[in-house]
Amino acid sequence: MHRITRARPLPAGRVGAQCPDQGARPPGEVAAARIHRDLSRVQLMLATVDSQIRSLLMLRSDTTARALADRVPVAAIAKAASASPSEVRIAGCGHIDLDYAGRPKAHHLAEVAGIASELTSALERKAGIERGRRTLIIKALRSGQLDIHQIAAMAGLATERVQTIVRGAAVRGGRTA
């Protein structure tokens, strides 16, 4: 039976045991693991925001169609939704089965405007996450620990996509192949 022992005293306030045969990981491996963890988090956050955006687009389309069914003018809906009149008409064509519900115009416009502001917020959040991902990728390339193919694999992106993301940034010291 293998006993777990404390290899060295732990700093004050730390509790735990360490396997005696467990060695320290090399700094390059630690940096690669940290980059992988951070890129995985970014990928998860982007997937979450993309899902929210898809849901909000569907909700905006449904709400727009209900407003059109209640005879709210296309121009008013377009202004409230921050969309073009043609986008409003396309959303309405997809829901021709809706009947007149008789809800007031102001109610529809407030609902569409609320969804539009949520959508704008989600798009801004996505842009911020993508900027963070770009910064992380550039930092990883500059560290020289990983090449562009490894970073692309960790980020779940094609190598060409990573190249376009970092285009224009001075990435010296990073390996490209």
pLDDT at residue 117, as a whole number: 96
The domains of the chain are located at 31-157
Minimum mean pLDDT range among 32-41, 72-81, 90-99: 90-99
Q: How would residue 22 be classed by pLDDT, with cut points 50, 70 and 90?
A: low
User: Tokens in use for 78?
Assistant: 């377009």
What three-state secondary structure class fits 92? helix
Rounded mean pLDDT, 153-162: 90
Q: How would residue 129 be classed by pLDDT, with cut points 50, 70 and 90?
A: very high
**Would you give the DSSP letter of residue 16?**
-
Flag whether pLDDT at 171 surpasses 90: no
Rounded mean pLDDT, 121-130: 96
Flag whether pLDDT at 54 surpasses 80: yes
Q: How would residue 21 be classed by pLDDT, with cut points 50, 70 and 90?
A: very low
pLDDT at residue 144, as a whole number: 82
> Beta-strand (E) ranges in the chain?
none
For the entire predicted model, the pTM comes to: 0.73
pLDDT at residue 90, as a whole number: 86
- In our burial notation (b when 16+ CB lie closer than 10 A, e otherwise), range 31-51 reads bbeebbebbeebbebbeebee
Residue 171 makes CB contacts below 8 A (sequence gap 6+) with 138, 141, 142
